[in-house]
Amino acid sequence: MIRIRQIEINVLNNQEVCLIKKCCNILKIKKKDIINLKINKKSIDARHKPNIFYVYEVDIEVEGENKILKYNKNINVIKTPDEKYRFNILGNKTLDYRPVIVGSGPAGLFCSYILAENGYKPLIIERGEKIEDRICTVERFWKEGILNKNSNVQFGEGGAGTFSDGKLNTLVKDKLNRQKKVLEIFVECGAPKEILYLNKPHIGTDILRKVIINMRNKLISMGVEFKYNSTVTDFIIENNSLKEIEINGTEKIKTNVLVLAIGHSARDTFEVLYKKNVNMQSKPFAVGIRIQHPQDMIGYAQYNDLYKILEPASYKLTYKAKNNRGVYTFCMCPGGYIVNSSSEYSYLAINGMSNYKRNTKNANSAIIVTVDSNDFGKLPLDGLKFQRKLEEKAYKIGLGKIPIQKYIDYKNNKKTTVLGNIDNIAKGKCNFSNVRAIFKEEINNSIIEAIEYFDTKIPGFARDDSIIAAVESRTSSPIKIIRDINGESNIKGIYPCGEGAGYAGGITSAAVDGILQAENIAKIYKS
């Protein structure tokens, strides 16, 4: 096939007609010569408003491809490269027991999928509930405040990303086509086909839940077994090698290959691992607030009046504060909700979430400030303790509910008593509070500086009635579990994986790391 890159078409034009016409002009062929045309990439270029373009990369099958490639001198016309993912079983060692995957978030699920697809039939241990039951538990928490510490927005089948916007874009470079494999598996399990080519693909929490169920059924058909409501409470280690794990304080499971895909909120498991002398270290992360604006305001700022016909607009903004701290927007949710994502009693954390259509009135995004060992200490669990302190303050000032505040009151360091013209859109009960009381002033000042700067990029970003909520503390893992070139920790048989272990930052990168660990297992063990 022939790949054509950088095809620009005005968003107001008929996309299909113009795309075919442009491809024919570039290749000097007729429409009837096209056997097949597939979109490989699609993005929006809004740099020259009001002229806004879709930018395409397509693969075309035509007769005489080699001749066309030989004589076409356009630098954006190339032979379509081979982008198929390949999994190789190189190991010849026999497994004593089936592989065990701890955690059924994207890292655990995709590691299991690749292993099962190649005959390994792993066992998945999940501390939370299957997705159908988990949804009911989370909805009850949002309505009644009754928290299940093992099954919530953070824990349960599908992982934390199940209650998010379902973003699938990542900045990780991928020469081995693992990302492509992840997206293909998602589509096989019911995700929209457009995620295969959109520049910023997302599934949305509503569709992602259905995809996870289909993925589970596919895994079971390939020989995978699931154990829900099962928390790993101990690791039995002999001669620096894993021998078995303990579940819920009673059940023992023998294994010498365990993929630790526990997510970044499994604080109790981190504590057990630390006591077992698993090599880990604290790492920098970021904390802050979420801010809500009208989605129409964001749309107009990004696309002018064309926002009414385009998909809900997003943004990504960065700033360096006067104190040299990095401040940036994170997990921006067009047409979304603020959600209570707590997982421990008397601690409160929040996140953002959108459905596939992103059709609420508000956009929301985290605005987070980098923190490091100078803020929380150098011991492995110090970052975790720092997160807890912030979440404890958020719980107290919100009286157990999400603390919210108008931006003008946040700047003036006073409790909000009434909202402005923006409605608060949240999953979970909220209380007027003084969010500023959660952080030290250096962080508050960094956030305010950044919001005022972001207002120069998106007019209205710093409007007085923007709604601040807190605390955004689970942006990434505060811990990195050290692993060697083969993917193992210093305890042989333990394969740290995904976001919780410090090797990913989102659904796709976590899934890719799960695939990587499946490859590492296959380098040593045969199926």
Measured CA to CA, the distance from residue 366 to residue 372 in angstroms comes to: 18
- Are the C-beta atoms of 325 and 504 separated by less than 8 Å? no
- Are the C-beta atoms of 382 and 375 separated by less than 8 Å? no
Q: What is the 3-state secondary structure (H, E, C) of 42-66?
A: EEEEEEECCEEEEEEEEEEEECCHH
pLDDT value at position 271? Answer: 97
- Are the C-beta atoms of 428 and 382 separated by less than 8 Å? no
Long-range contact set of residues 143-146: C-beta below 8 Å, sequence gap at least 24: 145/400, 145/401, 145/429
Considering the domain 100-281+479-524 in this protein, what is its CATH number?
3.50.50.60
pLDDT value at position 476? Answer: 94
- Are the C-beta atoms of 236 and 246 separated by less than 8 Å? yes
- pLDDT tens column, 6-30: 999 999 999 999 999 999 999 999 9
pLDDT value at position 169? Answer: 85
pLDDT value at position 173? Answer: 79
* Residue 317: band (very low, low, confident or very high) from pLDDT cuts 50, 70, 90: very high
Give Cβ neighbours of residue 17 (< 8 Å, ≥ 6 apart): none
For 522, list phi and psi in degrees, rounded to 5.
-70, -15
Percent above pLDDT 70 for the chain:
100
- pLDDT tens column, 294-303: 999 999 999 9
pLDDT of 172 above 80: no
pTM > 0.85: yes
- Are the C-beta atoms of 46 and 314 separated by less than 8 Å? no
Domain ranges of the chain: 2-79, 100-281+479-524, 284-472
Measured CA to CA, the distance from residue 405 to residue 415 in angstroms comes to: 7
CA torsion 178→184→189→191, rounded to 10°? 110
pLDDT value at position 151? Answer: 97
pLDDT of 405 above 80: yes
- Are the C-beta atoms of 255 and 489 separated by less than 8 Å? no
pLDDT value at position 344? Answer: 97
Same fold, 2-79 and 100-281+479-524: no
- Treating both helix axes as pointing N-terminal to C-terminal, what angle do 106-117 and 507-524 enclose, rounded to 10 degrees? 40
pLDDT value at position 141? Answer: 98
* Residue 171: band (very low, low, confident or very high) from pLDDT cuts 50, 70, 90: confident
- pLDDT tens column, 360-404: 999 999 999 999 999 999 999 999 999 999 999 999 999 999 999
For 227, list phi and psi in degrees, rounded to 5.
-125, 105
Of 451, 456, 453, 454, residue with least CA distance to 467: 451
Residue 351 pairs with which residues in a beta bridge?
339
Q: Which CATH architecture has domain 2-79?
A: 2-Layer Sandwich (3.30)
Q: Which two tokens stand for residue 241?
A: 């090698």
